[in-house]
């Protein structure tokens, strides 16, 4: 018994000594802050009227601001981890994302304040919805640099949201270029399909996030899977049964039993697929259901898959336009 106790005590002391030695062997870290004596302006954000530099040189972005600022070419020095945006990045953006220092995890409570301080930013853009801000110590971030919170609400708001985020980061030039490219293409496609698409009563089966088993996601105008197609003239009939604010105003999750009644009047049905074209499980569940085959639109063969439906920035949405074009092409041949 004595030996065990002595061994335990010796072990504890050895551990403490090792720890102390390891700490001594580490170098010292400097923590200086560059003072930017540039001009400032007042910006309206979710967290109030914030004074920010006119042209920031070192920007930290978190949440939805990450893809928006990556695309617009803002001068980023650090981002939060944003795995769900990765499938939508093009090669350039992916490379940049991988190279940037990660200063926060997927959830706001994992913000690494020291890493942010070390990156020495002059602006911090937080792209998370308001209730999530409670997890972040805004005061501590404000001690490092001005903080603007610009978070999402309704899905189709991404246009406004990404513009605000790019504006705050002083990257409006890059943003405007992308927006113009998108608008031009949308107009061209609306022309191309004006004889066939606007006349269709469309229904959409969505796959944004997980869907509870036994339900399916039906998206109406203004939702993730539909808002970009609307730019070329598509209209999705109907309304949600019960409005719930935010995305619940434009999409709902009925039980699979209600599939026949939900799409009884649809002339054609579109559905979301993954970036690589594979069908996500919530949509596959609908496609494999015996109730699907009874739908008039399905019997007429008028079903069309859309890729990149989660696009929340103009460059990604341009890919969506291409996908919609690809999907609707058979309509022109009739």
Partner 1 sequence: MNALVLRRGRFSARIERRTLVFLVAMLVVIAGLTLLGLCYGAAWASPARVFAALTGSGGGPGVVIREWRLPRVLAGLVFGAALGLAGAIFQNVTRNPLGSPDVIGLDAGAYTGALFAITVLSGTSTQLTIGSVLGGVITAAIVYALSLGGGLSGLRLIVIGIAINAMLTALNSWIVLRAELEIAIAAVGWNAGSLNGVGWDDVAIPFGVLAVLFAVLFTRAPALHQAALGGALAVTTGVRWDRLRLALVLIGVGCTATVTAVAGPIAFIALAAPQIGRRLARTPGIALLPAALTGAVLLTSADLAAQMLLAPESLPVGVVSTVIGGGYLIWLLTKEVRRT
Partner 2 sequence: MTATGRSALLGAALLGLVVVAVLSVGIGAHAIAPGEVVRALLGEGNPSDRAVVLDIRMPRAVLAIGVGAALAVGGVLVQALSRNALAEPGVLGVTAGAGFAIAVGSSFGLAASAPIELGLAVLGAFGASALVYAVGSRSPLRLVLAGTALSAVLLGLTLGLRLLFPDTFDVYRFWSVGSLAGREQAPTTVPLIVIGLSLLGAFAVSRQLNAIALGETVAHTLGANVARVRTVTLLLITLMAGAATALAGPILFVGLIVPHLARRVAGASIPWLIAFAALLGPVLMLAADVGSRVLLPTGEVPVAIVTAFLGGPVLIWAVRKYGAAPL
| Phi, psi (degrees; rounded to nearest 5) at 53 | -65, 145
Compute the least distance from the CB of residue 93 to partner 2, in Å.
Answer: 18
Compute the least distance from the CB of residue 21 to partner 1, in Å.
Answer: 10
β-pair partners for 86: none
The DSSP 8-state label assigned to residue 280 in this structure reads P
Select the span of 96-104, 228-236, 308-316, 318-326 touching partner 1 (CB under 8 A).
Answer: 96-104
Compute the least distance from the CB of residue 16 to partner 1, in Å.
Answer: 3
* Start-to-end Cα distance in the chain: 90
What's the rounded Cα separation, in Å, for the pair 140 and 104? Answer: 14
Compute the least distance from the CB of residue 84 to partner 2, in Å.
Answer: 5
Identify residues 240-299 at the interface with partner 2 (CB under 8 A): 241-242, 252-258, 260-261, 281, 284-285, 288-291, 294
Identify residues 71-110 at the interface with partner 2 (CB under 8 A): 83-84, 105-107, 110
Select the span of 119-127, 143-151, 211-219, 298-306 touching partner 2 (CB under 8 A).
Answer: 211-219
Compute the least distance from the CB of residue 285 to partner 1, in Å.
Answer: 17
**In terms of CB distance, is 33 or 41 closer to partner 1?**
33
Q: Strands 59-63, 123-127: parallel, antiparallel or unpaired by DSSP?
A: parallel
Of the candidates 19, 195, 264, 332, which one interacts with partner 1 according to CB under 8 A?
19
Select the span of 4-12, 92-100, 198-206, 294-302 touching partner 1 (CB under 8 A).
Answer: 4-12
Q: Starting from the edge strand earliest in sequence, which strands make up the sheet with 101-104, in order?
A: 101-104, 76-80, 59-63, 123-127, 147-149
Compute the least distance from the CB of residue 125 to partner 1, in Å.
Answer: 16
- Site for partner 1 contains 223 (CB under 8 A): no
- Residue 151 in 3-state DSSP? coil
- Max CA-CA distance within the chain? 92
Compute the least distance from the CB of residue 3 to partner 1, in Å.
Answer: 12
Identify residues 259-318 at the interface with partner 1 (CB under 8 A): none
Burial 316-328 (b: 16+ CB within 10 A, else e): bbbbbbebbeebb
CA 246, 247, 252 angle in degrees (round to 5)? 130
Question: Which residues lie closer than 8 Å to 56 by C-beta, 6 or more apart?
Answer: 74, 75, 121, 122, 123, 169, 170
Select the span of 51-59, 126-134, 229-237, 259-267 touching partner 1 (CB under 8 A).
Answer: 126-134
Of the candidates 106, 160, 183, 294, which one interacts with partner 1 according to CB under 8 A?
106
What's the rounded Cα separation, in Å, for the pair 266 and 247? Answer: 22
Instruction: With beta carbons less than 8 A apart as the criterion, state whether 22 and 93 touch.
Output: no
**In terms of CB distance, is 174 or 238 closer to partner 2?**
238
- Residue 36 in 3-state DSSP? coil
- Site for partner 1 contains 132 (CB under 8 A): yes
**Contact residues: partner 1, CB under 8 A:** 5, 8-9, 12-13, 15-17, 19-20, 22-24, 26-33, 63, 81, 101-115, 117-118, 128-137, 140, 152, 209, 212, 246-247
């Amino acid at each position: 018994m004595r030996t065990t106790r002595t061994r335990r005590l010796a072990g504890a002391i050895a551990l403490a000594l090792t720890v102390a030695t390891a700490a001594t062997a580490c170098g010292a870290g400097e923590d200086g802050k560059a003072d930017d004596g540039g001009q400032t302006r007042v910006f309206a954000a979710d967290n109030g009227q914030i004074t920010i530099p006119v042209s920031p040189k070192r920007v930290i972005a978190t949440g939805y601001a990450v893809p928006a600022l990556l695309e617009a070419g803002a001068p980023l020095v650090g981002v939060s981890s944003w795995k769900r945006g990765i499938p939508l990045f093009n090669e350039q953006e992916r490379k940049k994302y991988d190279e940037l220092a990660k200063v926060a995890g997927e959830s706001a409570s994992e913000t690494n304040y020291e890493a942010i301080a070390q990156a020495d930013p002059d602006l911090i853009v937080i792209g998370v919805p308001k209730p999530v801000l409670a997890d972040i110590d805004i005061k501590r971030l404000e001690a490092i640099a001005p903080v603007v919170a610009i978070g999402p609400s309704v899905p189709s708001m991404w246009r406004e949201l990404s513009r605000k985020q790019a504006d705050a980061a002083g990257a409006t030039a890059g943003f405007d270029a992308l927006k113009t490219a998108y608008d031009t293409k949308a107009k061209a496609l609306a022309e191309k399909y004006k004889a066939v698409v606007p006349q269709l009563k469309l229904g959409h089966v969505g796959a944004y996030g997980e869907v509870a088993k036994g339900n399916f996601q039906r998206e109406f105008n203004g939702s993730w899977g539909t808002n970009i197609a609307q730019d070329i003239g598509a209209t999705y009939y109907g309304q949600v049964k019960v409005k719930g604010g935010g995305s619940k105003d434009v999409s709902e999750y009925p039980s699979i039993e209600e599939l026949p009644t939900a799409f009884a009047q649809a002339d054609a049905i579109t559905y979301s697929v993954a970036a690589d074209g594979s069908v996500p499980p919530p949509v596959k569940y609908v496609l494999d259901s015996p109730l699907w085959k009874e739908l008039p639109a399905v019997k007429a063969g008028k079903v069309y898959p859309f890729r990149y439906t989660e696009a929340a920035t103009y460059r990604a949405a341009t890919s969506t336009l291409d996908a919609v074009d690809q999907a609707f092409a058979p309509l022109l041949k009739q």
